Structure 1
Amino acid sequence: MKVNKVLSTLAVCAFTALSFTSCSKKENVQAPDAVSEDVLTQIKALGFTSTGAKKVDNGYLVEGDIFLTDADLKSAPQNEFLRVGDEEQYRTNNLVSVGTSQRTITIAVSSTLPSAYVTATDELIRRYNALNLRIRFSRVTSGANITLTKAPSGAGYLASAGFPSGGNPYSQVLVNSNSIGTSYATTYIATILAHEVGHCIGFRHTDYMGRQYSCGGSAVNEGASTVGAVHIPGTPTGVDPNSWMLACIGYGGNRPFNSNDQVALNYIY
């Protein structure tokens, strides 16, 4: 997610701060090794925007904070109902398997992160568990399903994550604690981490069709595609200014789940 500095820092999938924070992607880096046209085509075929796509270790960063591996790019799209719309709640084709009962997803905070991130993680867990979903979250010290760890030095995003695979959540959230800092643990930091965990369990940006809505700048949308962004029934067809899955967030901002977010989470889980 980026912070609007562009949630760019955060934006990795959390957000950055422009004085906005946007999902994990910092938008101004032209890597020496540009992303090939073939890869850009694969990114678009999966339903993601190729604008600003960036080569990173072991894969590619798209939409500011979403990590895709080479295996992701080569995966066959699933045939799901897609609605290409405006600002609504969206999920990916890949979700976490729950079965007929409840599933607990464990989260660990690496020692590479300051203690404020433990406090923030406990708050994000509280926010999710308060909704009584079929997935619940619990913090552990090791062997977690999702591990929050420090992003590489010089990362151009606030945080980044990927999407579920094989019925399991994405296993890692990279957090740029140098850019995010340690203030506002139960509001700003918790919002960023909750956003990234949202990606880990299969949610896309609420404003994926127009990231300028939360990030500012020129319009960035992916155009028509056939997979990758499935509209969640019951969520609005108009703009949603407070969703926890908006691509960017301002420094110090706080986005607990709004009523539309709750509808989306309860529909899926």
Structure 2
Amino acid sequence: MKNYTLLALFCLIAGTLTVSCKKENKGTSNEPQKISDAVLSQIKAKGFGTSNVHPYKDGYLVEGDIYLSTKSLTSATPAGSKIRVAKSEQYSTYELVSGLPRTFTVRVSGLGTAFVQGTDLAIQRYNALNLDLKFRRVTSGTADITIQGFYEGPSGGYITLGYSGFPENGNPYSEVAMNTHPDAYGSNPNVQYVGSVIQHEIGHCIGMRHTDYMDRSYSCGGDPIDEGDGGVGAVQIPGTPSGPDANSWMLACSNGGNRTFNSNDIIALRYLY
């Protein structure tokens, strides 16, 4: 997830719903490192947006909260389809979790009580849908998904609240990283807010793209940004409405509050899982 600090607009990006506004520009913006045209072309070819790409670890953060390793950019893109729901769309990636039904363990490592409780909230919300994939929090050992912290202030007009990646080899992405910088969640994080971010990032871990995939201005404001589809096709899920969907848990920007699945999100998740 990401928060933009554009003038008076403070937007949380990771996939949520309406525009998040606060009254001040937080932190000092450092000039972002320039990304080569070759890397941007690889990112675009994979079907991801090339605005606000940032180097991170041995890869890049794209679309605010999605981690792509350098290795993944050079690997072949498997055939598949993304999921569309109405004009405001739910999308999946070409990579999904397989071998269902399965229960995945989730461990919170080195984070405070609000992050533990937020994880429990996100798990409760997923499990309440009775999908063929379920989650269970563990307190020790190796987990399928580890939720851990990183510390990073605002840079280039935004602050990353959290990030994750997409499934690999039929398994969920193994990490959700949550920002512990004070400008991210404050000194006393709200459990429902943190839980909503974790819920969104787990959505990426199991293969969900941002709901306003084709026009990020819908939730973020500003200029329309088409993240691109990488040529992987689209399948509309039957029985979903044709109008805009203003409450999806996977919208690119958030109002900074509590958000969970709406009816179309549930249709999309049950279609996939």
Interval containing the TM-score (normalised by the shorter chain): 0.7 to 0.9
Q: Is the 8 A contact 2:92 2:208 kept in 1?
A: yes
SS of residue paired to 1:91:
coil
Question: Aligned residue pairs: how many?
Answer: 256
**Structure 1 partner of 2:165:** 162
**Structure 1 partner of 2:215:** 210
User: Over aligned residues, Cα RMSD in angstroms?
Assistant: 2.7
How far, CA to CA, are the matches of 1:163 and 1:224 in structure 2? 15
Instruction: Say if 2:64 is the partner of 1:64.
Output: yes
Which amino acid in structure 2 is aligned with residue 208 of structure 1? Y
Instruction: Say if 2:134 is the partner of 1:144.
Output: no
CA distance 1:220–1:86, change in 2 (3 Å): farther
**Structure 1 partner of 2:92:** 91
Query: Percent identity at matched positions?
Result: 46
How far, CA to CA, are the matches of 1:119 and 1:106 in structure 2? 15
1:50-81 CA distance string (max 9 Å, x none): 11111111101110111000121112122224
**Structure 2 partner of 1:106:** 105
SS of residue paired to 1:170:
coil
CA distance 1:223–1:213, change in 2 (3 Å): same
CA distance 1:15–1:200, change in 2 (3 Å): farther
How far, CA to CA, are the matches of 1:42 and 1:236 in structure 2? 34
Residue 3 of structure 1 deviates from its aligned partner by 3.8
**Structure 1 partner of 2:38:** 38
Which amino acid in structure 2 is aligned with residue 11 of structure 1? I
How far, CA to CA, are the matches of 2:176 and 2:80 in structure 1? 27
SS of residue paired to 2:168:
coil
- TM-score between both structures, scaled by the size of structure 2: 0.84
- TM-score between both structures, scaled by the size of structure 1: 0.85
**Structure 1 partner of 2:119:** 121
**Structure 2 partner of 1:184:** 190
Q: Is the 8 A contact 1:93 1:230 kept in 2?
A: no
Unaligned runs of 5+ in 1: 21-27
Q: Is the 8 A contact 1:9 1:157 kept in 2?
A: no
Q: Is the 8 A contact 2:152 2:180 kept in 1?
A: no
How far, CA to CA, are the matches of 1:266 and 1:69 in structure 2? 29
| 1:268 corresponds to which of 255, 269, 272 | 272
1:195-230 CA distance string (max 9 Å, x none): 000000100000111111111222111346403x74
How far, CA to CA, are the matches of 2:10 and 2:92 in structure 1? 21
Q: Is the 8 A contact 2:83 2:91 kept in 1?
A: no
Q: Is the 8 A contact 2:47 2:231 kept in 1?
A: yes
SS of residue paired to 1:79:
coil
Which amino acid in structure 1 is aligned with residue 144 of structure 2? N
Which amino acid in structure 1 is aligned with residue 172 of structure 2? P
**Structure 2 partner of 1:11:** 13
1:229-256 CA distance string (max 9 Å, x none): 74451344432110000111112x2211
How far, CA to CA, are the matches of 2:194 and 2:11 in structure 1? 12
| 1:250 corresponds to which of 255, 261, 273 | 255
CA distance 1:257–1:169, change in 2 (3 Å): same
How far, CA to CA, are the matches of 1:16 and 1:157 in structure 2? 17
**Mean CA deviation greater in 10-19 or 72-81:** 10-19
Unaligned runs of 5+ in 2: 23-28
